[in-house]
Amino acid sequence: MAKPSGRRRTPQARRARRNVRMVFRRRNYLLILIGVAAIVLGYAMMRIENEVEGFVSLYLAPLIILGGYLEIIWAILVRSEEEKDSPKKSRSPAR
């Protein structure tokens, strides 16, 4: 008879796994998605006009692309209010 290959998890391990926090919240992912959409829109606008000296490809599209990159940076750096208010857990020195 073959041994089962999987390990059994204790109830403590299951609880610990449920309490794992994600790095980003839903709001962060939404902001990243908006930034990526702005970047794609900017490059599409640049390609659609297809003129080197045109207003859209020279002025408008690069600003939209820059805004998209700044939005992604903001989405990575922003934290929710509850994370700001909660005190950080301090680690006690090992003895």
Number of domains in the chain: 1
32 pLDDT higher than 70: yes
d(CA 80, CA 62): 30
Q: Is the pLDDT of residue 20 over 60?
A: yes
Question: Could you tell me if residue 89 is inside a domain?
Answer: no
Tokens found for residue 10: 């204790």
Q: Is 92 part of a structural domain of the chain?
A: no
DSSP label at residue 70 = H
Structure tokens at 45: 């606008």
Residue 71 lies in a domain: yes
The answer to whether residue 10 sits within a structural domain is no
pTM confidence score: 0.66
**Cβ count within 10 A of residue 31:** 19
- pLDDT at position 83: 67
Report the Cα–Cα distance between both ends of the chain, in Å, rounded: 46
